[in-house]
Structure 1
Amino acid sequence: MRLRRCGPDAVLIEVSSLDEVDAVRSALAAADLPDLVELVPAARTVLAAFRPGSADAARLSPLLAEVDLARRAVAEPREVVLRVRYDGPDLELVAQTAGTDVDGVVALHTGAQYKVAFCGFAPGFGYLVGLPDELRQPRLDNPRKRVPPGSVGIAGEFTGAYPTASPGGWRLLGHTDAVLFDSHRDPAALLAPGDLVRFEAVR
């Protein structure tokens, strides 16, 4: 684990895996750090931002020295169900690559439980881990210039849903009508790191 100062009031914690990111994020969220204003997990880092002038940043090193990086979070997570119509343009490609048929892809994707590892790329975009091995496939060779909002896709070890229209190279399985990001809602993003997510097929 490595700590790097990011200006006077933030610290970037570098670790080696998504599990370690989860352990650090969970430990800091549960710690007595009254001036901690934001935790931003990513694939291999957690950014901890504090109120200007706070002394809490100086407490991170001894606090993190006690964190068991191999221990998973024990707090009760929030559960979110995303209803998906599996009609994506890459279903056949995914099925062929996985050695199954379209129904098999749907069964695999809906049969797993996922966890939001971190958010990024676009507001409200959650990177979900827990994808079955058969569905771990590369991005498209030629990314699309526009992926419709609500599109549900897979890439590498992740699955997720696009909150807004954007370019993207993930293999698309279907779409959801869930509002993943709404700036007028509190919180604006439907998904947050640590949430558990299930996909449910609809006709």
Structure 2
Amino acid sequence: MQERPVEHDGRTGEPDKRMWRREFLAVRNRLPEDVVRATGDALAERALELPELARARTVAAYVSVGAEPGTLTLLEALRARGVRVLLPALLPDNDLDWGEYTGPGSLARIRHGGKMALFEPSGARLGPAAVTGADVVLLPGLAVDALGMRLGRGGGSYDRVLARLERAGAHPALVVLLYDTEVVARVPAEAHDRPVHAVVTPSGVRRFTGP
């Protein structure tokens, strides 16, 4: 686990998060395509070793875009195991609906305004509450720290997902998929942020017990 090569004054909040997001995205965007592809294969291998995924009947996941650590290999491996895989569909208010992944042909490329195009399920929508039935939720992110606090992209979609899980009394395993260099000592956190249970990187799995 590495320290970030920047100085901070100890305060946390959204301005601090924006700076960190810019830094992590800049590093990702410089990654060669072959590194991104190889990372996806390694992530799938490591993630499939998780007992939580071995027991899971339903997994809420996502389709990686751009230089995000690849998820398609993992999605296909889960589907081959007979796992029901749910994928998000972005709603106008940045909340997430869900649909079932049944293979690459079940994906549609959707552009939401000026945002990056996303790959979303093309089949029936199951409603935002569908995620509460998942045994494991795979979360996108930009970094995670020693306490399991995740730095997201800032849209708030997964904050809503985590709040919905809490309201429903659902307790799936929360797992974030990252590059090795994105596991750091500290990320800025706010009162509403919740830790994940584990991070998977190409080199292995790290678990968190919280503060």
TM more than 0.5: no
TM-score (ref. length: structure 2): 0.27
**The structure with more radius of gyration:** 1
Which of the two has greater strand per residue? 1
Which of the two has greater helix per residue? 2
